[in-house]
Amino acid sequence: MTDAATAQLTADILLEIQAVHIRPGEPFTFTSGRLSPVYVDCRKIISFPRARNRLMAMAVDLLARNAGVEAFDVIAGGETAGIPFAAWIAERLMLPMVYVRKKPKGFGRNAQIEGDFKDGARMLLVEDLATDGGSKHIFIDAMTAAGAVCRHAFVVFHYGTFPEAITGLKAKGVTLHALATWADVLIAAERRGHAKEQLDQVRSFLSDPDGWAAKRKSA
């Protein structure tokens, strides 16, 4: 399956399980404080076994095509949403898994990475989605500090509208892989007959996220 076909099937699955939320009248707020008329709840995938099985199969295929079949030694899930996806990918690849905390737990070993790995291990960072990429840097820095090497990160969904999500990771030598972006969801949503007014609001946001948010804040 090509990357384009993978993206469209992923978009269809996310729409089918109602993981895509479009709410321009009541914007969502990201962790970074940005306002958005759209939100993709990848956590819903854990409740749909057939959907998650198909998505994880496509994830492994995508990583094999674009990173290599022997590119990783360990699969690392980012706390907390990335942990189940990392577990499913690790199982398919028959690789060890660890998970990375947002900060050291503050007691015991004060560990930020839970699990066992060797110095120099090539880790794949797995999270559910990427917006502006901020949380990825926390996890990658923790992995690097612990002696691991991270050159690739995977998410089910990438917003695809914040350039810093890509450039910031590239500056760290990390390539971001995603099954689908908002551009793919818009194509699928239009094909499925979603309301044009809502989709136009999404396009307005994607073309200028900060400008869209500024208008809502001043309204």
pLDDT at 55: 98
What is the DSSP secondary-structure string of 55-112?
Answer: HHHHHHHHHHHHT-TT--SEEEEETTTHHHHHHHHHHHHT--EEEE-SS--SSTT--S
pLDDT at 212: 86
Please report how many Cα atoms fall inside a 13 Å half-sphere around the Cα of residue 75, on the Cβ side: 24
Could you tell me the residue range of the domain that residue 133 belongs to? Answer: 3-218
Q: Helix, strand or coil for residue 143?
A: helix
pLDDT at 133: 67
pLDDT at 109: 60
Q: What CATH number is given to the structural domain containing 169?
A: 3.40.50.2020
Per-residue tens of pLDDT for the chain, all 219 residues: 899 999 999 999 999 999 999 888 888 887 777 788 899 999 999 999 999 999 999 999 999 999 999 999 999 999 999 999 999 999 999 999 999 999 886 554 658 999 999 999 999 999 999 987 678 999 999 999 999 999 999 999 998 887 777 888 999 999 999 999 999 999 999 999 988 888 988 899 889 888 888 887 766
pLDDT at 164: 78
Residue 47 DSSP code: G
How many separate helices (H) and strands (E) can be counted in the chain?
A: 8, 10
Q: How many domains would you assign to the chain?
A: 1
